[in-house]
Structure 1
């Protein structure tokens, strides 16, 4: 490693070898990483999506073995009835439509029915059903993903229809929000998150129809599929559709798109076992089902492929996954149905169908911003026609009267009202950059006493293709070829700190000098929610350092295994370096076993900082004595985990 970087990450005192031990990936985790490495080049997609996919699959498949609560008698009674998938008896075909295309009455009844099954406990049972041990191996990571969630969503729809007999579940076409990103606007500008739809709040959802549900959302990480990404689902060859391994098919891509949307919503949606707590989970899965059905129909028409028989190739899955994802294997929770039964055409022939999303409609007969009734009927009242396609409206100021906060996100294209009262109320700053609220769940109990904090050091390099509007001036003229912070202006530093150009999120754009790195810790020794923190940087500098403080399971009660991952705001992975007994740092997996002899723990971040603090002649600074992990956010063109597979 270059001399300069060695100086930065060599620390002073050694930690007891038994206190913090770097560990290897579990076998099934390695298998997943190999598949992703082979199928997704590092320059094609934000690396955070690939790493978290394998992490979540491991946590989901092993969580029940680690800990689970015994089901109540009420849940047992419910699940015995819920698992019975009965064909409709003379019912008309249900017609599902995009959430924003619901009439006011349809939307009111939909929200009311959800709140009724939430109030009587049915919804909690449905959430638990998703995390049941029998469903875990099939519901994700293979061709069982689409059919299992299809039946699961249909049975939820059945429960709602007990209260609203003609109700159908709507879908959330998140291409709308992706279009807002392309307009330079963030998620807060989508009407989906106001009082009349899914609600909003700073981390905790406090407004809207689900304000009493104790939901958490944290928008922005992950990818939202734009039109171009969705169109890729329909550009595969016949061989790719019918013969290649699952991960290389459009159906494998569809599951990866789904994974990235979970990350983007954040909060409860990040943790698979908790994700169905948020009704947005089902709105999303209804959209995934909409896309799946569209793909099935499209490839049937294009290649003559019968979707009921086109079961994906599972040869590259692990041996255990091949058992669970075999077409003749039972659809867990819905026996005697098999996975192949879930691929049957009967569900969308006899039970439900979809109204096309406005994002898939042609409005070329309408002029831009056309207000004629037939044009409003095509795009709905929340979108407008432009260049023959429905696109989201840029919201007018009256929108903020019904928006659940006063937050107006700063953007490069929207002027803020500088006279408005801003950010802080009674000393509490709500929206300058909301701190992340973790729920600190440990084996079913939400309590910070189950956790201790540790220090993590983060090194951040300026990515390529950035430019900030502070330029050199020569001969009375501003030179805009490079900003004055660009390392290209001092080639020795540019050579010392090379940065690659890996894949990023589709919506990656930087609107200010403020940037951040997301750091996530996950317990591998308990069923625990992920602990997530953002580490802020000034993105304009060639190199910067910062500390983050992450919660981990309390090792005083016994050794705990923990995974750490980090990535920047565009999804570029950071490389983990683990401290060695000689105090040098070496690339590692980011997985550790921690025990109670490590001296760097704190009951809170402030206690950790106090242990780092030292004074020289009245000058305070932080030392790295207890730092065992450094993340180098180096925009590397290789997967850091590759050398450990």
Structure 2
């Protein structure tokens, strides 16, 4: 439907290729006055069809026919390709092709604002629905359709300016709504952008409905009800709670799934208990010496090669089905994750698990110990994904299927390739995170419990790296299938050991905090061998490993002891070389280390499309969602200013909420400043909002993002989020839908009320069935075609706002948005 009518218009020579985020310029040219106005809308060029909102100015009309304003309204993209223009038909409300020549009066009904302030509050309906604004498409008169037609879009349009003037003379303007005469001053408009993706029309048959939040999830949310949102990253707390929910709802009982696998893990656990516990002399019954764990980059080339070879040997060894590595990784899945996460067992459980894995490696090569990855080193780079640790010598591929490095072409048991999406979301552990944790003196102050503030919770903070690496690491059920998991947890164990060395009280005493039955001291770890949660805190276990600290440096001694680390003398820290600096083994001025690389904005997210144990795109339905974004708190200035009596007023830009009284009334007074990732020192004009689903009655996760216009006081975007497709006779599919921006600030979720058709606050837990009415697409193809209704008018498609069930509202509230939702059993 789309591709057949597309041409390939000539572009500026600088436009070698199109980017994920684009601009469409909107402008007006006065016809009965001398004046021109130009602005841009930000568009999502990844999607087959996307929608954006912008405002264009014309001269404000005065009383009577002589006061009419006449202007030409046009749009083109940043490469010079012209967009078609469509106007709303006064009788049908539908859009149809028009000249873009308009007449504007000050008679009612008005479809414009007398200023930006009024135009924004009108189009988002703040006057009628203050708490949850809606995008009032009925206030839009002009729609630009950027579909790159084969012919120049205005060459055959016979409608003229005199036609518009004739209509105005015949009858009152109020009764003559036409495509050539309609009032606006700062006019609201769509920008519809079509890219080169083929779309084919299908018919979907589906129903979506709201559910209460699962009880384990709601209990977790309520822990931060009284905490300030500037003390923790909301999206990280979401991840923490959602994965505790997944473990608690899981029915899979990993430890009894395969007797051969259980016997292998038991043998490794028992062998780990014989490791030498004292460095001074080797016990006669010991089978392995005590391990010294180094930072990954401090391994010699020989040590690193042996370590990688040992891991791959486990992966190839099928004497235990499916292979030894995957058997170990599988014990970090299912109900075991509820034992390993969400309480005081977290530290000890992973210590035992890490020892089992290390013992397996040492059965291959007794000289191998699990190194730790100190990701606080990467956190000091503007773009940590450019660190030399993400090169073939170390961890390899960062984006998509891992095809380079020691773990290239690995396949998971569900037959999905090992996938990463490094740096798109999340962040490495920061030095502030470690400092906060080590500032406490008792276990009861750092383990997950209702009494521990989020910023001191070591389990919560460890999740940032899972989100940062993403892919397999993003889900606890698949995280251990990426070997980086064990190096990350080796670093968390190092922090645990540093805490033990400085804490007050008995370091072997199990934390006494309110918790669930899986995290009491005598509860099983679920790992074969009979270990209990308290055993992870034993001194005998701690004494079987020692950690070599990360090197430091100074101006007097600038060496870091490794070519992949370089000294920053201003801080005395050794930082990773990047892909641009790694060749410089001697840095003349270490204080000028290149840490200002471009961010990962616009990178694609590779999903695995796995539902439980099968991975296939055809298993997923696509739900259209709308994202309404308020201008974020850290975007302080857009360099376009109001003009008064010929003078630029540089105090505030034209869109700044506080400069507009109506906007400030509804928006500005309620804005908070939630905590963000450290890299988010300021917001940019174009931003990202991540939208995702997490299965409730299936194991599956889908993530994508929309592009938001941060310049505007309020903007709207659309996107599509995947859920497991319900099948006839198999019941409904249940999932949790969430959104947060690229700095970790959480968005509220609204669902359409079936009676009033208005959006209201909801839990974001939804059920999908194959019953009518349709509110999703059986594929991306279906979802796009239904949303833009090409079937009824392929030449000028209509934007079907009725197809949205979910709206995300990103308004930077002063409370965690889900802490007061109701729950169900």
Q: 2:567 aligns with which of 355, 376, 384?
A: 384
1:532 and 2:725 equivalent?
A: no
Aligned partner of residue 619 in structure 1, secondary structure: coil
> Higher RCO, 1 or 2 (CA under 8 Å, sep at least 6)?
1
Aligned partner of residue 819 in structure 2, secondary structure: helix
Matches within 5 A, 1:157-176: 157-176=358-377
1:75 maps to: 261
Structure 2 Cα separation of the partners of residues 161 and 69 of structure 1: 23
Deviations 1:187-233 (A, max 9, x none): 22211111111111422222111111132112232243322221111
For residue 578 of structure 1, report the CA deviation from its aligned partner: 0.7
For residue 72 of structure 1, report the CA deviation from its aligned partner: 4.7
Structure 2 Cα separation of the partners of residues 268 and 110 of structure 1: 21
Aligned partner of residue 134 in structure 2, secondary structure: helix
Matches within 5 A, 1:328-477: 328-349=522-543, 351-358=544-551, 361=552, 363-364=553-554, 366-367=555-556, 370-371=557-558, 375-377=559-561, 381-387=564-570, 389-393=572-576, 395=578, 397=580, 399=582, 413-414=596-597, 433-468=602-637, 470-472=639-641
With over 3 angstroms needed to count, the CA separation of the structure-2 counterparts of 1:479 and 1:69, relative to structure 1, is farther
Conserved in 2, the CA contact under 8 Å of 1:142 and 1:246? no
1:556 and 2:727 equivalent?
A: yes
2:224 maps to: 36
Conserved in 2, the CA contact under 8 Å of 1:46 and 1:504? yes
Structure 1 Cα separation of the partners of residues 692 and 380 of structure 2: 28
Deviates more, 1:46-55 or 1:479-488: 479-488
Aligned partner of residue 64 in structure 1, secondary structure: coil
Structure 2 Cα separation of the partners of residues 341 and 602 of structure 1: 50
**Bigger-Rg structure (1/2):** 2
With over 3 angstroms needed to count, the CA separation of the structure-2 counterparts of 1:168 and 1:617, relative to structure 1, is closer
With over 3 angstroms needed to count, the CA separation of the structure-2 counterparts of 1:115 and 1:510, relative to structure 1, is farther
For residue 457 of structure 1, report the CA deviation from its aligned partner: 0.9
With over 3 angstroms needed to count, the CA separation of the structure-2 counterparts of 1:132 and 1:298, relative to structure 1, is same
Structure 1 Cα separation of the partners of residues 355 and 441 of structure 2: 31
Conserved in 1, the CA contact under 8 Å of 2:222 and 2:820? no
Structure 1 Cα separation of the partners of residues 255 and 532 of structure 2: 27
1:217 and 2:420 equivalent?
A: yes
Deviations 1:329-368 (A, max 9, x none): 233214433222211111232x21100123xx4x34x43x
For residue 262 of structure 1, report the CA deviation from its aligned partner: 1.0
Q: TM-score, normalised by structure 2?
A: 0.66
Structure 2 Cα separation of the partners of residues 136 and 244 of structure 1: 14
Aligned partner of residue 51 in structure 1, secondary structure: helix
1:326 and 2:520 equivalent?
A: yes
Q: More helix by proportion, 1 or 2? A: 1
2:767 maps to: 593
Q: 1:58 aligns with which of 240, 245, 255?
A: 245
1:231 and 2:418 equivalent?
A: no
Structure 2 Cα separation of the partners of residues 415 and 26 of structure 1: 40
Aligned partner of residue 8 in structure 1, secondary structure: coil
Aligned partner of residue 691 in structure 2, secondary structure: strand
Deviations 1:2-53 (A, max 9, x none): 42666625799xxxxx933211122222221222334x43221121112221
Structure 2 Cα separation of the partners of residues 268 and 440 of structure 1: 12
Structure 2 Cα separation of the partners of residues 396 and 34 of structure 1: 43
Deviates more, 1:563-572 or 1:25-34: 25-34
Structure 2 Cα separation of the partners of residues 501 and 243 of structure 1: 26
With over 3 angstroms needed to count, the CA separation of the structure-2 counterparts of 1:399 and 1:386, relative to structure 1, is closer
With over 3 angstroms needed to count, the CA separation of the structure-2 counterparts of 1:511 and 1:34, relative to structure 1, is closer
For the aligned residue pairs, the C-alpha RMSD in angstroms reads: 3.2
With over 3 angstroms needed to count, the CA separation of the structure-2 counterparts of 1:20 and 1:344, relative to structure 1, is same
Q: 1:632 aligns with which of 809, 820, 823?
A: 809
Deviations 1:556-577 (A, max 9, x none): 3421111101001111111111
Conserved in 2, the CA contact under 8 Å of 1:143 and 1:246? no
1:584 maps to: 758
- Consecutive unaligned residues of structure 2, counting only runs of 5 or more, are 1-125, 139-205, 276-284, 318-322, 411-416, 585-593
Conserved in 1, the CA contact under 8 Å of 2:657 and 2:664? yes
- Consecutive unaligned residues of structure 1, counting only runs of 5 or more, are 13-17, 402-410, 417-430
With over 3 angstroms needed to count, the CA separation of the structure-2 counterparts of 1:332 and 1:247, relative to structure 1, is farther
Deviations 1:117-158 (A, max 9, x none): 11221111111111153x233200111111111011111111
Structure 2 Cα separation of the partners of residues 151 and 239 of structure 1: 18
Structure 2 Cα separation of the partners of residues 415 and 463 of structure 1: 21
Structure 2 Cα separation of the partners of residues 506 and 513 of structure 1: 18
Conserved in 1, the CA contact under 8 Å of 2:688 and 2:706? yes
2:782 maps to: 607
For residue 245 of structure 1, report the CA deviation from its aligned partner: 5.2
Deviations 1:373-404 (A, max 9, x none): xx333x77413141352141554736499xxx
Aligned residues: 590
2:215 maps to: 27
1:98 maps to: 295
